[in-house]
Amino acid sequence: MSRQIVGRKATYLYLDNIITMAVGYALWFILSKITAVDVIGVSSTVISLTLIFTTIVDLGVSQGSTRFIARSFSGRQIGNAKTLVTASLLLIGIAILACSGAILVFKDWIFPSTIGSELIILSIFLLTVSVVYAILRSVLIASLETQSLPKITVISSACKISVTIGLVLLGVGATGIILGYMSAFASSAILFSYTLRRIFKPYQKDSTIDLYQACKTILLASIPSWAPKVLSVIGARIGTVFVFAIEGANQAGSYFIASSVFYAITAMMDSLFSIAFPVLSSMDDQRKRYVWRLIKISLVITLPLSSTAILYSEEILGIFGQGYLGMSVPLKIILLSTLAIIFNVGITTLVYSYGNYWYVLFIGIGSSAPRILLYLILIPLYGSTGAAISFTIGSFVSFVVAAIAARQIRMLIFWRQIALLFSIPTATAFVLDYLQVNYFTGIPVIFFLALILFVALRLLTKSDICDSLGILPGRIGKPIINIVEKLSRK
């Protein structure tokens, strides 16, 4: 499969992420205007804890099964794919029951005392629908039939917005926000099931593996990635919980909004590597070159965005209200980890596609262990700023581990290019900040100057530009690619 075809598949995934992020920000923006910061703090803490439970219950199946399902689709072994999907759902069903029981038994130890039993029960339901959603979505991505993702997300997002805002206006508070999230996951899971049924229906091939063998195969591939994934999610999301427990609901709500800005900026990277993983798993050679190009494209797109957000963090947070301006410094600190996060995800995706599970584990521990340790030390001292420092330090520790892993597998990393890709937009942002240039002028300056210097220094070649444009739909991307090719001949 060519890079342009893969890119177009990734476009749907990226569009899906963009819709999710846009709706998420629109929703949190509206909520910041119609409800108190402490309500957002309570709901975001419950959502963060549920995300951690979801990762635990997932057992790594949503990622581990993708390798084999992708190969089954690639080899037209649809019967095997069906068995693998059934095995995946069976495994997470057992895990959901076990985790739900543990939450009910140990709820007083897991949840802060200010979170009531009603929200704890709702978190179990949210856990269930979100895990099923994650599994079905991963199957759809493994099939590379991603064109239906944006449509499903639009429908589920409309459901989430209407349910959440309606219940909050009725005075339900944090409970309404959790129910809104549940409605989105539930509606998506139903639509995913219908779509997958349509994909599988034309094929009536028998499976060459039985259910027990499928469960065993998936577990063997999933567990090695599960531990680092759990640690990674804990390291990324437990900060909100610690801020809630130590600083209170108001600070937790503000920190949650600030960290969400970071995840929105890295959405493109998530889309590219999510679609790349099943492709890499089915490739026999040139994986390293393919991943390096994805890392570079992600850096070219994302670093100017993060530099802009660092420069104008107060303006971005001010959109949500004056109560969030205090998160400007934590947001700047978190955004400094953008380069490290992209590199870490790229190398992790590569080594996992090779089946090098120990490297996946070490990279995950490299980010999560320092974060969790530093959260306990720095949040009591510096509050949300301490949480941001902990997050960023963990990202760069993992960056070092990922670099070592890349060297071990003999992947060629062009460090000069990475340094220039980082320093050009960052230095431009610092200069504009010193000159006190407003955002109306500063944002286009950062992007255009970065693009010009990337091309002038040959950090961005014609091939890179064509590959980047190749992720656009054919009617848009192809004419622009033709223009670029014509200009390059002159």
Give per-residue pLDDT as tens, 448-478: 888 888 888 888 776 666 655 554 445 545 6
Q: Of 148-157, 281-290, 330-339, where does mean pLDDT reach its minimum?
A: 281-290
Query: In the chain, what's the furthest Cα-to-Cα distance?
Result: 71
Tens digits of per-residue pLDDT, 388-442? 999 999 999 999 999 999 999 888 889 999 999 999 999 999 899 888 888 888 8
Please report the pLDDT score of residue 18 as a whole number.
72
Please report the pLDDT score of residue 11 as a whole number.
64
Please report the pLDDT score of residue 10 as a whole number.
58
Q: Is residue 427 part of a domain?
A: no
Q: Of 28-32, 126-130, 222-226, where does mean pLDDT reach its minimum?
A: 222-226
Q: Is residue 201 part of a domain?
A: yes
Q: Is residue 169 part of a domain?
A: yes
Please report the pLDDT score of residue 485 as a whole number.
56
pTM: 0.75
Query: How far is Cα 178 from Cα 161, in angstroms, rounded to an integer?
Result: 12
Q: Is residue 437 part of a domain?
A: no
Range of the domain at 26: 3-413
Tens digits of per-residue pLDDT, 197-253? 777 766 556 667 778 888 888 888 777 668 777 877 887 788 888 888 888 888 888
Tens digits of per-residue pLDDT, 326-354? 889 999 999 999 999 999 989 988 887 77
Asked whether residue 301 carries a pLDDT value surpassing 50, the answer given is yes
DSSP track, 20-47: HHHHHHHHHHHHHHHS-HHHHHHHHHHH
Q: Is residue 462 part of a domain?
A: no
Indicate the average pLDDT of the chain: 82
Q: Is residue 486 part of a domain?
A: no
Q: What angle do CA 46, 51, 56 make, to 5 degrees?
A: 125
Which 8-state DSSP code applies to residue 489? Answer: H
Tokens representing 474? 């054919």
Label residues 23-36 b or e (16+ Cβ within 10 Å = b). Answer: bbbebbeebbeebe
Please report the pLDDT score of residue 173 as a whole number.
85
Q: Is residue 428 part of a domain?
A: no
| DSSP helix/strand/coil, 411 | coil
Please report the pLDDT score of residue 464 as a whole number.
65
Residue 410, sorted as left (phi over 0), alpha (psi -120 to 50) or beta, turns out to be left
Q: Of 178-192, 212-226, 271-285, 329-343, where does mean pLDDT reach its minimum?
A: 271-285
Q: Is residue 432 part of a domain?
A: no
Tens digits of per-residue pLDDT, 87-122? 888 988 999 999 999 988 888 888 877 788 888 899
Contact 198, 141 (CB under 8 A): no
Number of domains into which the chain is organized: 1
Proportion of the chain above pLDDT 90, given as a percent: 23
Please report the pLDDT score of residue 186 as a whole number.
92
321 or 284: whose pLDDT is higher? 321
Mean pLDDT of the region 173-195: 90
